Structure 1
Amino acid sequence: MGRTIITGVDRSARSRAAADWAAREAVLRGLPLHVVHVTAPDDPAADERPYRPETVADRVFAELVQRHPELAGRAGTLDGAPVPVLRALAADAELLVIGLRGEGGHAGVAVGSTAAALAVDCPGPVVLVPGTHAGGEWSGRADGVTVGIDARNPVKPAVDLAFEAARLRGVRLHAVHAWAFPPQAPRSPFPVLEEDRATWEDQEVQLLSDALRPWRGTYPHVDVLEDVVLFTPAEALAHTARNCGLVVAGRRSGGIALALLEHAHCPVAVVPA
């Protein structure tokens, strides 16, 4: 397939918001965009909808080209169930981009079933985009990048993606390392001594600095804010990502990704280890 960004679309406004983000990312990276609509071949409700399934991707792509004349790519319709079809496409794609919820989502459900399934089991990076209207602005800065990093065992592809995203946008990268008190911390009803906490925190700061050193060498022009916080990984990203336009999280299991997506206010890139 070559280097391509893929966006999965349906008839929802949320889907169009994700497709618009994908189009802007494709233009930024100089890559083609493949707009895909996946539909069951025997869908009994197809005739009841505003337009037939085979026209969905074409309509979305035409709208994107109107907003982004420099966009290159194509549109297509594929038969099957969305999750396995999109998962197969993602194996060879630069990025897969979808909305947090689609047209079948229920009010009050933050993350749809397709987004949840791909967040926990996708062979390539998947970007999950909140929002309800194409071209809409996020609540935070539109260009900032935040990455969650385990300083003891970084997910290299996730850190690669985050540094490259910051480089392309010309913005500072906020690298967040979550930590917890070590096992030797006193187990008592009394608070941890401040000097003990300061010592442990200093150790975590040094671990993060050491972990980021290879990327700082590769990306010398990317300004990096190193941040060590006493939270769980999901809480750390949820707290620190409120003022950015993209959050990048590595995935060794799906728990952190799903917890983060429940509170997402900006696009979240989930990158497998």
Structure 2
Amino acid sequence: MDPVLLARTGTSAPGRAATAWAAREAEMRGAVLRVPDGPVREPGRASVIVCGVSGEADAPPGSGSPWAALVDAARGPVVLVPDLLTTSHRRTGVTLGVDARDPSAAALAFAFQSARLRGVRLHAVHAWALPADAVGRPFGVPEGERAAWEDQEVQSLGDALRPWREKYPEVRVLADVRLFSPTAALLHCSEHAALAVVPGGSGDLAWQEAVRALLRRATCAVAVVPS
């Protein structure tokens, strides 16, 4: 079992929260918790990397902020623990952002594993938008036409989740299709989650913005999983 790597410690609130999160994660996984002496620039092999985040949520990937550099360099999941982390017995679920038309197998695997380890429900959220030629229609989109498009999105999400549901039959799954941006959908659906999982490393600016928004406003940990 690869170790859980605690990449950033300290006496600040996010440092303490990240330390506690990493210790729980290592215990659940039956893995060793490893704490490097200095900054982690090349993470190497780790089952999960945990990093406290303070005041850097607006920094885009590649900007030189510690969490952005970790996400860029990591080959596995990076759990970012924000300033506003709130722990509560009501915060037990795992929320996953899914692009049903191009699903990230790595993000799906981590989300299902995380839900199984915690014995909680997985809330899989697929955000979609109306076709470009429908947005500018002067009289709007007929309800029947919109419903047909939504049915297609529901089918796509079901297809993306099916093999993972079969692999993890013990995990309860809520499949949720939202006519929102990825950022708005994840912010809304992670309000009561203990962990939000976002695919990363694909160069998709929508997911990158979702991560920054979650770190600014969400009160749960955020896992970025490179594809």
Task: State TM-score, norm by structure 1.
Answer: 0.73
Match of 1:124 in 2: 76
* 1:142-185 Cα distance to aligned partner (Å, 9 max, x none): 32101001111111111000001111111111000000112342
Letter in 1 for 2:23: A
Q: Tell me, what secondary structure is at the counterpart of 1:14?
A: helix
Q: Deviations over 1:248-271 (max 9, x none)?
A: 010113343223322221000000
SS of the residue aligned with 1:162? helix
- Secondary structure at the residue paired with 1:265? coil
- Does 2:123 align with 1:206? no
Q: Which amino acid aligns with 2:195?
A: L
Question: Aligned partners of 1:160 and 1:15: how far apart in 2?
Answer: 27
Whether 1:238 and 2:187 are equivalent positions in the alignment is yes
Match in the other structure for 1:29: 29
CA contact (8 A) 1:139 1:265 kept: no
Could you tell me how far 1:130 is from its partner in structure 2? 1.9
Contact 1:5–1:97 (8 Å) recurs in 2: yes
Aligned-partner Cα distance in 2 for 1:248–1:32 = 22
Aligned-partner SS, 1:157:
helix
Q: Structure 2-normalised TM-score? A: 0.87
Q: 1:259 to 1:121 in 2, by over 3 A?
A: farther
Query: Equivalent residue for 1:261?
Result: 215
For the pair 1:271 / 2:225, whether they are aligned, the reply is yes
Point out where structure 2 has 5 or more consecutive residues left out of the alignment: 60-64
Q: What's the secondary structure of 2:225's corresponding residue?
A: strand
- Give 1 or 2 for the bigger CA radius of gyration: 1
SS of residue paired to 1:88 = coil
Deviation readout 1:215-260 (Å, 9 max, x if unpaired): 0110111110000001111211111000110000101133432233
1:219 aligns to what? 168
Provide the C-alpha distance between the structure 1 equivalents of 2:140 and 2:166, rounded to a whole number of angstroms.
Answer: 40
Residue 248 of structure 1 aligns with an amino acid whose one-letter code is V
CA shift digits 1:75-130 (9 cap, x unpaired): xx13xxx3xxx2412x31111101111xxx5xxx6457212333455332100012
RMSD, aligned α-carbons? 2.1
Q: How many residues align?
A: 216
CA contact (8 A) 1:235 1:260 kept: no
Segments of 5+ residues of structure 1 without an aligned counterpart are 37-76
Paired residues for 1:142-157 under 5 Å: 142-157=91-106
AA aligned to 1:230 is L
Change (3 A) 1:186 1:137: closer
